[in-house]
Structure 1
């Protein structure tokens, strides 16, 4: 799988196991389908806490983009379907709602939320965060992209 890497983490003292998948998705909607399939397969294998994070190069809806053409609705549906199919929950964010800018000038700047963290319900159970989304993801201001 060229768009993601997964590792098993084991806490040395408690023996608790968790999985971490790091994502750098293709810019191609067609190629991302391989990633969506991979995440679905992982959800069938990883029965403990699982955190998935990185650059998904996909949007869930039009609110995750400012400027430029509207996002492809098929791509948005496929991404949402992949999240649902894998039983993942979006961790949300604090800070800027956008994680990338194309750095264009003269009114053609496009802001998007391509980076995110997702987790399964077991992650939520094991780590019992008191409040979501403020503890998992803080979107940093983008200087260069």
Structure 2
């Protein structure tokens, strides 16, 4: 990798090579939004990299940033990362039953932003609490979502959940 940048608290790192022109549009504790162009494509793409806070009320500034990014944006846009919330009860295994009220704000933001989950191949869950088998919890906290303009330009993009090495599974774009 030829270039790198991190957000203000060092929890999000972005690396890219010289084939990509990347300009940081904004960043804060939970997201970095970049304008990118690949040397071969020349189309401008917007990508938001996310590492959301664990507590619901602390994620609200992130939801506001995503809504702001979506408003008036007609460029291809993708948002990818750890949102620390699930969108349906099937995205959790183990522990106490999930209260879907915890997800309603996130689901509303996804819809208001016009984002579509890109789906995935590989294992179903992207995070585990790593406790013993009797107390283990699995969730799909990591995802990639894109707007219609992104899907028109990159209709064959795929996301693969790679094997977990620590508590989260990396996502591979292709």
TM-score normalised according to structure 2 size: 0.76
Distance 1:14 1:137, change over 3 A: closer
C-alpha distance in structure 2 between counterparts of 1:19 and 1:123, whole Å: 9
Deviation at 1:51, TM superposition (A): 1.0
Q: Which has the higher strand share?
A: 2
Deviation by residue 1:8-59 (Cα, 9 ceiling, x = unmatched): 0123354310001000000010111111111110001432111110000001
Q: Which has the higher helix share?
A: 1
C-alpha distance in structure 1 between counterparts of 2:132 and 2:40, whole Å: 52
Counterpart position of 1:102: 129
The alignment's C-alpha RMSD in Å is 1.4
Any stretches of 5+ residues in structure 2 without a counterpart? 1-27, 168-174
Residue range with higher mean Cα deviation, 31-40 or 117-126? 31-40
C-alpha distance in structure 1 between counterparts of 2:60 and 2:35, whole Å: 24
Deviation by residue 1:96-129 (Cα, 9 ceiling, x = unmatched): 1100111111410000000000000000111232
Distance 1:32 1:126, change over 3 A: same
Deviation at 1:71, TM superposition (A): 2.4
TM-score normalised according to structure 1 size: 0.90
Figure out how many residues of one structure are paired with residues of the other and give that number: 140
**1:141 paired to 2:168:** no
Any stretches of 5+ residues in structure 1 without a counterpart? 130-134
Which of 50, 62, 65 is residue 92 of structure 2 equivalent to? 65
Residue range with higher mean Cα deviation, 43-52 or 11-20? 11-20
**1:30 paired to 2:57:** yes
Which of 86, 89, 98 is residue 116 of structure 2 equivalent to? 89
